Amino acid sequence: MSSAGGIQIPSRLPLLLTHEGVLLPGSTVRFSVNSPRNMQLVIQRLLRGTSLKSTIIGVIPTTRDPENDSDELPTLHKIGTAGIAVQVVGSNWPKPNYTLLITGLCRFSVSTVLKERPFVLAEVEQLDKTEQYTTPATGGINSDDGELGELSEKFYQAALQLLGMLDMSVPVVAKFRRLLDSLPREALPDVVTAMTRTSNKEKLQVLEAVSLEERFKAALSLLTKQIDGLQLLQKTKKRAPRSDKRVLPMRKSGVIPLEQFKVSDEEEDEEDTAVLEKKVYSVNMPEAALKVCLKELKRLKKMSESMPEYSLIRNYLDLMVELPWNKSTKDCLDIADARALFENDHYAMDKLKRRLLEYLAVRQLKASLKGPILCFVGPPGVGKTSVGRSIAKTLGREFHRIALGGICDQSDIRGHRRTYVGSMPGRIINGLKTVGVNNPVFLLDEVDKLGKGLHGDPAAALLEVLDPEQNHSFTDLFLNVPFDLSQVLFIATANTKATIPPALLDRMEVLEVPGYTQEEKVVIAHRHLIPKQLEQHGLSPELLHIPQETTQEVISRYTREAGVRSLERKIGAVCRAVAVKVAEGVKKTQSSDPELSGEPRDRTAPPEWPIVIDRVALKDILGPPLFELEVSERFTLPGVALGLAWTPYGGEIMFVEASRMEGEGQLTLTGQLGDVMKESAHLAITWLRANAKNYQLTNLVGGSDPLEGTDIHLHFPAGAVTKDGPSAGVTIVTCLASLFSGRLVRSDVAMTGEITLRGLVLPVGGIKDKVLAAYRAGVKNIILPKRNDKDMEELPANIRADLDFVLVENLDQVLNAAFDGGFPGTGSSHTHPQLSSKL
């Protein structure tokens, strides 16, 4: 055990390796612990220690960052400082680490490193006394002590001169003044050097000065440098108006770098709070918000930076001054320009564009219009998000998209209270901070995919946001003051209305965005998608040409969707294949590239551009077609019918298959069916049993009851997809009638409609999407409920001309239209006019 009076430090010390920061005797410094060696020192010695000696460690500088830990021990400085760990703070985020508050005791030198793992342990020799840093002054050194006394007196006078140039109202400056009288003068070089903001290199020079005389000389040099810099700054200030009472160093090469002098962190904090206070008054926030900000600012000024709440209040005030309380953009709306923009950016969607122009026209005439909140509902890939961007572009407003898919915490909308660790504002307030204006266009994307979890319902939190009568005083829990959202234009998107809560749906005006027809997709591909993909892949129309026939082939046989996302991906695949050929220098002489189509050609033929993608080349690039028009091949046996279904991704064709075998009259349903569809199947069975004699339906044993001695299995293919709804009723009846009668259903007929026990056919929804699905699948004849005739107006004229429709009111008409030559038992009074009639 070494001893030199005062506190005795152990002869063996665990060493804390540090690359940033120098601990001097008599000072207190906070160190961050991240490296494995230092972490083990804290865990094994400080956290498990029970005595004062166990909390004494050595702090020694190294030549490289110890956080970049390796098996090789970094080079240690020759002099270190023994200190007491007065505080240990641990944290597990974002990774385990500790923060140590260490008070320096004395210098030591390393004699021998005893071990390097798990932490560094060394034999040390104490170099100076500890009592001079802890014992009150008893007279100290005077001017009669020779050269050392003269140095100490000169140092003391220089310190007084420096204090006279600083503002004594600053707490750290006042503390500096008290230290001059409360500590022995031989302790002042270390303590004063630690209080001034000097470089690590200069602090190391003071640390290496073991001799008290050398220590005074090194510290005095630093003080003189600070005084010279301040004197030069004061001369400069006399030539220019002073904007601050405090004297701050000036960044000037050769005089005094800003990093070389800083009286205290508290003084810098006061400067920041002064700037922050000016911002609070300058942003022109409402009186309620200003009152809260001034109250928090007053708390911040009285709070130490080391307190956990300091950063939270500071972040809160920064957010408050960055929010656009009264900053907005001016609408530059012109209806003619808006119409031209919609036509250029979006093809088809005539009904949606007409409603948007109406909305914009009313907004131009009455700028204070409240609402409505528009909600675009349609399958993926039809352009709902891009329409929102076009509206923002038309108005000249900022655009911000908020993705709501998968959110299950109301705090994402309303924010967190500041009492929680890691609290932050909600997405609405954060979006306003991002765009910097209070009247942007907010796109609430995928509003139908909001979840509901343990932390509240985000859909309920949106009720206030999307209500024009309430959102003028929207209160985010983090802000805790009202913010006016009435100037924000909210637009929502969804794939289906079914999963949107009724209260939220009631606040929005729903605009249906249907899927595209094949002709519309061809135009969109050649107007928008192909030029976009050519540009993204470094190609041009002079290098690659995709004819319309090829585009139609991609649409009908490689993609089957309501939107155009898959179509764009397929076009991108074609561009990538051609880009390889262009990069290799392979050129084109025939209608299709032989390398792509497999056709032979003369290699010596003169080259020519562009490469034209035909059907053969398309198959070579994209592979065999994914979809075939083979609906008729599925109708080779009785008991098969083709229905039409609606999904959030557009319309789909749906086969219904039935088979029977000897049994006890049981009905089996498979294909992941919902309760409503199961009820439709039971309705169909009941109606057929009640009318079996009229339609000459028999069972396997020859009786009049179709289920007597017979088991029925009804299956809906694509079993991994959940199916529900009443619109499959007519399809199930037709499928079972085919099974019991042994007759084939017409292969070119698809149908949809709800049934009743009386045999009536009721209207259903999603007619346009269902008809488009049948059209894409090549079906030419469609059976629809009579009361859905009003929905036919939404269909494009070319589709109405290409398809044959039968509008039915009862199941007699359905069966008569679904079978060649009609169906036995269907009376002429119920027979619908010929199937080929067009609307």
* Tokens of residue 341, six digits: 């923009």
> Residue 58 in contact with residue 124, Cβ under 8 Å?
yes
Q: Is the pLDDT of residue 600 over 50?
A: no
DSSP string, 575-642: HHHHHHHHHHT--B-SSS-HHHH-----TTSPPBS-EE--HHHHHHHH-S-S----TGGG-SSSSEEE
What are the C-alpha distances in Å from 800 to residues 504, 789, 834?
A: 36, 12, 17
Q: How many CB atoms lie within 10 A of CB 409?
A: 18
Q: What residue numbers does the annotated binding site for ATP cover?
A: 378-385
Residue 256: what pLDDT? Answer: 37
* Tokens of residue 287, six digits: 């009186």
Residue 141: what pLDDT? Answer: 56
Structure confidence at residue 130 as a pLDDT band (50, 70, 90)? low
Residue with tokens 């004494």: 56
Q: Is the pLDDT of residue 429 over 90?
A: yes
Query: What mean pLDDT is reported for the chain?
Result: 82
Residues β-bridged to residue 483: 474
Residue 658: what pLDDT? Answer: 94
Q: Give the Cα separation of 727 and 732 in Å (integer).
A: 10
In three-state secondary structure terms, 495 is coil
Residue 712: what pLDDT? Answer: 92
Q: Is the pLDDT of residue 118 over 50?
A: yes
Measure the N-to-C terminal CA separation of the chain; round to a whole number of Å: 107
pTM to 2 decimals? 0.61
Q: Is the pLDDT of residue 810 over 60?
A: yes
- pLDDT tens string 520-541: 899 999 999 999 999 999 999 9
Lowest mean pLDDT segment, chosen from 186-190, 771-775, 811-815: 186-190
Q: What is the 3-state secondary structure (H, E, C) of 45-110?
A: HHCCCCCCHHHEEEEEEECCCCCCCCCCCCCECCEEEEEEEEEEEEECCCCCEEEEEEEEEEEEEE
Q: What are phi and psi of 807, to 5 degrees?
A: -100, 120
Percent of the chain topping pLDDT 70: 84
Q: Is the peptide bond before 514 cis (omega within 30 degrees of 0)?
A: no
Residue type for 105, please? L
- pLDDT tens string 752-761: 999 999 999 9
Among the listed residues 451, 467, 454, the one whose alpha carbon sits nearest the alpha carbon of residue 499 = 451
Torsion angle defined by CA atoms of residues 453, 457, 459 and 460, in that order, rounded to the nearest 10 degrees = 170
Q: Is the pLDDT of residue 808 over 90?
A: yes
Q: How many CB atoms lie within 10 A of CB 30?
A: 12
Q: Give the Cα separation of 270 and 274 in Å (integer).
A: 6
Q: Which residues are catalytic?
A: 727, 770
* Tokens of residue 238, six digits: 């006399």
Q: Is the pLDDT of residue 371 over 50?
A: yes
DSSP state of 456: B
Structure confidence at residue 136 as a pLDDT band (50, 70, 90)? low
Structure confidence at residue 165 as a pLDDT band (50, 70, 90)? confident
272 contacts: CB under 8 Å, gap ≥ 6: none
Residue type for 343, please? E
Lowest mean pLDDT segment, chosen from 57-71, 323-337, 557-571, 767-781: 57-71
Handedness of CA 383, 386, 390, 392 (dihedral sign): positive
Q: Give the Cα separation of 220 and 312 in Å (integer).
A: 40
What are the C-alpha distances in Å from 8 to residues 25, 86, 187, 191, 507?
A: 14, 17, 18, 20, 75
DSSP string, 768-797: HHHHHHHHHTT--EEEEEGGGGGGGGGS-H
